[in-house]
Structure 1
Amino acid sequence: MSREATKPVFSEKIDDWLLGFYNAFEFVKLVFKEAFSGDFEFNEFVRQCYHIGLRSLPLISLTGFVTGFVFTKQSRPSLMEFGATSWLPSLVTIAIVRALAPLVTSLICSGKIGSGIGAELGSMKVTEQIDAMEVSAVNPIRYLVVTRVLASTITIPILSFYCALVALAGCFLNVAVNEGTNLFAFFEKGFDSIIFLDVITAVIKAVSFGFTIGMIGCYKGFNASNGTQGVGKAANSSVVLSMFLIFIEEIFIVQVTNWFR
Structure 2
Amino acid sequence: MRNPLILQSAFLQEVGELSRFTARFFRELVKPKQEWEEFINQCFWVGYKTLTLVGITAFIMGLVLTIQSRPTLVEFGAEAMLPAMVAVSLVREIAPVITALICAGKIGSGMGAELGSMRVTEQIDAMEVSGTNPFKYLIVTRVLATTIMVPLLSSVANAISLYGGYLGTNLRGDVSWSLYWFQVFNSLSFGDVVPSLIKTIFFGFAIGIVGCYKGYYSQKGTEGVGRSATTAVIVASLLVFIIDLLVVQITDLLDLT
Q: TM-score, normalised by structure 1?
A: 0.95
- The 5-angstrom pairing of residues 198-209 of structure 1 reads 198-209=192-203
Question: 2: distance between equivalents of 1:105 and 1:11?
Answer: 36
**Aligned-pair Cα RMSD in Å:** 1.1
The aligned residue for residue 58 of structure 1 is: 52
The aligned residue for residue 37 of structure 1 is: 31
1:28 to 22, 30, 40: 22
The aligned residue for residue 126 of structure 1 is: 120
Question: 2: distance between equivalents of 1:114 and 1:11?
Answer: 29
The aligned residue for residue 108 of structure 1 is: 102
The aligned residue for residue 148 of structure 1 is: 142
The aligned residue for residue 10 of structure 2 is: 16
1:248 to 238, 242, 252: 242
Tell me by how many angstroms 1:197 deviates. 1.8
1:67 to 53, 61, 67: 61
Q: Does 2:74 align with 1:80?
A: yes
Question: 2: distance between equivalents of 1:215 and 1:119?
Answer: 14
Report sequence identity in percent.
43
Q: Deviations 1:95-149 (Å, cap 9, x if unpaired)?
A: 1110111101000010000000000000001111111111111111110000000
Tell me by how many angstroms 1:71 deviates. 0.3
Q: Deviations 1:149-171 (Å, cap 9, x if unpaired)?
A: 00000000000010011101110
Question: 2: distance between equivalents of 1:43 and 1:26?
Answer: 26
Tell me by how many angstroms 1:190 deviates. 1.0
Q: Residue 225 of structure 1: SS of its match in structure 2?
A: coil
Question: 1: distance between equivalents of 2:64 and 2:7?
Answer: 43
Q: Deviations 1:47-71 (Å, cap 9, x if unpaired)?
A: 0000000011111111000000000
Q: Which runs of 5+ in 2 are unaligned?
A: none
Tell me by how many angstroms 1:92 deviates. 0.3
Aligned length in residues: 255
Q: Does 2:252 align with 1:258?
A: yes
Amino acid at match of 1:191: F
Amino acid at match of 2:216: F
Q: Deviations 1:172-203 (Å, cap 9, x if unpaired)?
A: 01112321111110010011011112111111
The aligned residue for residue 182 of structure 1 is: 176
